[in-house]
């Protein structure tokens, strides 16, 4: 018993030493280069997702890195839930949202958006072999559609429900779950952006197929900052303008979106 107590004592002391040592290792950002925290939600390829090595990759990642290089600041990335992005910015837990977020009027009340950088459209993902849904008009009042909570696609799905065109909307935290539920046959379709739907098709070939909505979102996607943070907003807009002029923007879009 006494030995056990001694052993526990040693273990606790070691834990304390290591945790203090870990604190000391934290990199102090240098004063001359500012570091901003960029928030994203990485279940939205090809804009943001993880590659097979677990690295965060995508259009938004490349765009922000290019803008940061142009404007001379550093970024650290943080992956959080989509519906937490705006609250996190409002409470200063991050500086920039780069999550292919569409500039909607409701969101514009809460955060400040940069100029738009890309406009996408809607699409439906259905299970391979589903011959019932060939277009948006084939959705019937007994069908269930999933989407990611808080996204414009989710709003669209809720509109369909309110119009009585579908039975219910399943609201998930991420699009991977939506696609999984589609593959499992739990739901009839996933409502998602058209470019992202193609990326998912590439990830799950032979398991899903796409039904084009042929309808674009009302507004473009843009980066967002806390309301009133004009300094950062101007830097982002300036950087975005520069990379559009010098061809870097086109290069990134071509790399990820065909």
User: Which residue ranges make up the site for other proteins (CB under 8 A)?
Assistant: 82-84, 86-87, 90, 106-107, 110, 149-150, 154-155, 170-173, 177, 180-181, 183-186
Q: Which is nearer to other proteins, 83 or 138 (CB)?
A: 83
Sign of the torsion formed by the C-alpha atoms of 76, 81, 85 and 89 = negative
According to DSSP, the β-strands at 49-50 and 189-193 are: unpaired
Query: Nearest 5 degrees, angle CA 224-CA 202-CA 220?
Result: 25
Nearest distance, CB of residue 232 and other proteins, angstroms: 20
Q: Which is nearer to other proteins, 139 or 169 (CB)?
A: 169
Report the C-alpha gap between 234 and 244 in whole angstroms. Answer: 15
Report the C-alpha gap between 35 and 225 in whole angstroms. Answer: 14
Report the C-alpha gap between 174 and 153 in whole angstroms. Answer: 12
Q: Which is nearer to other proteins, 72 or 129 (CB)?
A: 129
Q: Which is nearer to other proteins, 78 or 84 (CB)?
A: 84
Nearest distance, CB of residue 186 and other proteins, angstroms: 5
Structure tokens at 68: 């940061």
Nearest distance, CB of residue 29 and other proteins, angstroms: 28
Nearest distance, CB of residue 117 and other proteins, angstroms: 22
């Amino acid at each position: 018993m006494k030995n056990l107590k001694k052993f526990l004592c040693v273990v606790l002391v070691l834990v304390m030493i290591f945790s203090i040592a870990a604190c000391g290792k934290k990199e102090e950002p240098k004063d001359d280069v500012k570091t901003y925290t960029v928030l994203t939600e990485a279940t939205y390829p090809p804009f943001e997702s993880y590659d097979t090595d677990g690295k965060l990759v995508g259009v938004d990642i490349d765009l922000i890195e290019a803008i940061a290089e142009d404007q001379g600041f550093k970024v650290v990335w943080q992956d959080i839930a989509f519906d937490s992005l705006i609250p996190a910015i409002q409470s200063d837990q991050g500086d920039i949202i780069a999550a292919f977020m569409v500039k909607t009027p409701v969101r514009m009340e809460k955060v400040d958006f940069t100029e738009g950088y890309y406009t996408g459209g809607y699409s439906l993902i259905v299970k391979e072999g589903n011959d019932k849904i060939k277009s948006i008009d084939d959705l019937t009042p007994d069908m269930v559609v999933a989407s990611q909570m808080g996204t414009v696609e989710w709003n669209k799905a809720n509109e369909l429900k309110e119009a009585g065109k579908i039975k219910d909307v399943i609201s998930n935290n991420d699009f991977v779950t939506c696609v999984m539920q589609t593959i499992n046959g739990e739901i009839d379709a996933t409502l998602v952006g058209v470019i992202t739907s193609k990326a998912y098709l590439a990830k799950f070939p032979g398991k899903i197929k796409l039904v084009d909505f042929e309808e674009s979102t009302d507004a473009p996607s843009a980066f967002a900052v806390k309301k009133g943070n004009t300094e950062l907003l101007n830097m982002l807009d300036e950087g975005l303008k520069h990379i559009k002029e010098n061809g870097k923007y086109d290069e990134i879009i071509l790399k990820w979106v065909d």
